[in-house]
Amino acid sequence: MPGGIAILALPATLPAAIEARFGDQPVFIARDDDGVRRLVVGIPLVQAPGATLIQLRDPQTQQEIGSLPFTLVAKTYPEQRITLPPDSKHVHPGPEELARYEREAKEQQAIYKRFSGSPGAWPAFVQPTAGQLTATFGRKRFFNGEERQPHLGMDIAAPEGQVVVAPAAGVVVQTGDYFFNGRTVLIDHGQGLVSMLCHLSEFRVAAGARLRAGEPIGLVGKTGRATGPHLHWTVSLNDARIDPLLVLPPSSTAGTGISAPKSP
């Protein structure tokens, strides 16, 4: 479904060296302990339902050597309405703020398109901080009644100053203080899998740091466009923003710190 993940097994008859692409983006190839290779594909929120294909290529010649089909089903996401002060620059940004946002968006987009590393195991994820899950992925958002971009991550309400950790092993590729996202850390987990953690009050890492899952990267804050202290966590896979709950172990929302919202 849009905003979800497709997992497709690669036939054993395919060559050892292979490249898979969904649209114009290379795809994560996970190799199991038993040697089975699986494609883990992020589905953009704007992807239309219906039949689609993963293209398979020879990485040396870039010639197509086959494809794998799968079908997308539709999904309707709920709405979220947020009230901010009507004169807030984060509701009606001026030309200077919009120019800043465009520069920052290009920086982040370049990171989402990164593709580093070779086929390997899918990383183990942990929740980046404990708290109430207050805004789920995909919600249609309205600020003071005006429709804005859908919510491309999940929000966890937590006390200001609470530790935020790396959700999976990876390399810090960027830290910055952004107009909408506030103090932000972006982590490359390899093969086009990236985490962005926003609204921090303080950094505990710098660009280039190599992290294990669970290592501190900053503190919960309310920088940028935030109505209160919380952590916003975006997960991007092959340049598609996906629901972060899908990468967490099934038990992670039951008794380990993240509690689901009371209503959808």
pLDDT in tens, 212-240: 999 999 999 999 988 899 999 999 999 99
Sign (positive or negative) of CA dihedral 203, 124, 29, 33 = positive
Please say if the pLDDT value at position 263 is more than 70.
no
Nearest one of 220, 231, 217 to 156, comparing CA atoms:
231
8 Å CB contact between 217 and 197:
yes
d(CA 170, CA 75): 31
Q: What average pLDDT does this structure show over 112-124?
A: 91
Q: What average pLDDT does this structure show over 129-136?
A: 92
Over the stretch 2-11, which tens digit does the pLDDT of each residue have?
999 999 999 9
Range 5-72 has CATH code 2.40.30.260:
no
What's the pLDDT band for 254 if we cut at 50, 70, 90? very low
**179 phi and psi angles, rounded to 5 deg:** -60, -55
What's the pLDDT band for 167 if we cut at 50, 70, 90? very high
Nearest one of 120, 78, 21, 100 to 264, comparing CA atoms:
78
The helix (H) or strand (E) run that includes residue 97 is: helix 95-112
Predicted confidence at residue 95, as pLDDT, reads 84
Over the stretch 86-105, which tens digit does the pLDDT of each residue have?
655 556 678 888 888 899 99
Please say if the pLDDT value at position 70 is more than 90.
yes
Sign (positive or negative) of CA dihedral 182, 212, 258, 260 = positive
d(CA 234, CA 226): 15
Please say if the pLDDT value at position 242 is more than 80.
yes
**133 phi and psi angles, rounded to 5 deg:** -75, 105
Q: How far is CA 244 from CA 18, 62, 132, 220, in A?
A: 27, 32, 15, 18
What's the pLDDT band for 259 if we cut at 50, 70, 90? very low
d(CA 167, CA 123): 10
d(CA 218, CA 231): 10
Check for a shared fold between 5-72 and 79-259: no
pTM to 2 decimal places:
0.88
CATH homologous superfamily for the domain 79-259 = Glucose Permease (Domain IIA) (2.70.70.10)
Predicted confidence at residue 227, as pLDDT, reads 85
Q: How far is CA 261 from CA 131, 164, 184, 196, 253, in A?
A: 11, 20, 24, 22, 11
Predicted confidence at residue 90, as pLDDT, reads 54
The residues facing 55 across adjacent strands are: 21, 67
Predicted confidence at residue 182, as pLDDT, reads 96
What are the sequence ranges of the domains in the chain? 5-72, 79-259
8 Å CB contact between 20 and 29:
yes
